[in-house]
Amino acid sequence: MAAEADGPLKRLLVPILLPEKCYDQLFVQWDLLHVPCLKILLSKGLGLGIVAGSLLVKLPQVFKILGAKSAEGLSLQSVMLELVALTGTMVYSITNNFPFSSWGEALFLMLQTITICFLVMHYRGQTVKGVAFLACYGLVLLVLLSPLTPLTVVTLLQASNVPAVVVGRAATNYHNGHTGQLSAITVFLLFGG
């Protein structure tokens, strides 16, 4: 009877948060203070929490742009540099078979950043150019994820992500003298993540 009750819980936890030995340690033997298994549970739980939180990070900025019907203060180059950084992280993680909980936030941030790129172009009267950008980006992503791309290129792309984001944001804010449509909530969530 206990095995039947453990069935759905085990099917949910074992592939996502715990190896089977840790599930047995914590939920069968009730050793709730088993430190190695608690570390695994905490690490994967935090990773999935960050992934879930990343679903909302840039949405305030997207809504602010849509509400203002303007992308004033946003540098397309800065947003694209951030997109390059997110793409590098995601491609590197997928190429190295990292678990989704360690790179999933890059996927959701990338999708939101692509949306912002398109909106910047759209509100500058370049909607056709925005659609072409989306198509080209999709092709580049397919090539980067294919076996055609050498691992050294993927590694170099991933290694350049932090400098790209920092330089892009700092240069844009300095040049504009203000943050424009950059959402304070988005900045806070990015910092928290």
pLDDT in tens, 125-161: 999 999 999 999 999 999 999 999 998 988 888 887 7
Residues 35 and 106 in one domain: no
Residue finishing a domain among 38, 69, 100 = 69
Per-residue pLDDT at 2:
46
* Residue 82 sits in the same domain as residue 31: no
Among the listed residues 12, 86, 23, 24, the one whose alpha carbon sits nearest the alpha carbon of residue 48 = 12
Contact 143, 149 (CB under 8 A): yes
Burial of 51 (C-beta count, 10 Å sphere; 0-12/13-18/19+) = buried
**Residue for token pair 């694209």:** 80
**Are 81 and 174 in a shared domain?**
yes
User: What is residue 145's predicted lDDT score, i.e. its pLDDT?
Assistant: 93
Domain boundary among 69, 85, 100: 69
| Predicted pLDDT at 139 | 96
What is the pLDDT at residue 94? Answer: 93
Nearest to 80 by CA among 116, 129, 35, 104: 116
pLDDT of residue 174: 62
Stretches where the chain sits below pLDDT 70 are: 1-6, 9, 11-12, 15-16, 162-193
Question: Token pair for residue 159?
Answer: 């290694």
Does 86 share its domain with 164? yes
What span, in angstroms and rounded, lies between the C-alpha atoms of 2 and 22?
17
**Could you tell me if 54 and 133 lie in one domain?**
no
**Residues 83, 176: one domain?**
yes
> Does residue 190 sit within a domain?
no
Domain boundary pick from 40, 69, 98: 69
Cα distance between residue 57 and residue 159, in whole Å? 23
Range of the domain at 42: 8-69
pLDDT score at 19? 76
Q: How many domains does the chain have?
A: 2
